[in-house]
Amino acid sequence: MKKYFISFCAMCFLFACKNDGEKKEVETPAKKASIELPYTASYSSSWSNDISDADLKMVLMTYKDWENNNMTGLAAAFGDTLEVNMYGGDYIKKPTAEILKMFSTSRDSLSSVKIDMQAWNKMYSTDKKESYIVAWYSEIDTYKTGKIDSADYHDINQVKNGKITWYSQYKRPKK
Q: Is residue 103 within 8 Å of residue 77, measured between CB atoms?
A: no
Q: What is the pLDDT of residue 98?
A: 96
pLDDT by residue, tens only, the chain of 175 residues? 444 444 444 444 444 555 555 555 555 555 556 899 999 999 999 999 999 999 999 999 999 999 999 999 999 999 999 999 999 999 999 999 999 999 999 999 999 999 999 999 999 999 999 999 999 999 999 999 999 999 999 999 999 999 999 999 999 999 7
Q: What is the pLDDT of residues 33-52, one digit of tens each?
A: 689 999 999 999 999 999 99
* Type of residue at 19: N
Name residue 110's beta-bridge partners.
Answer: 143
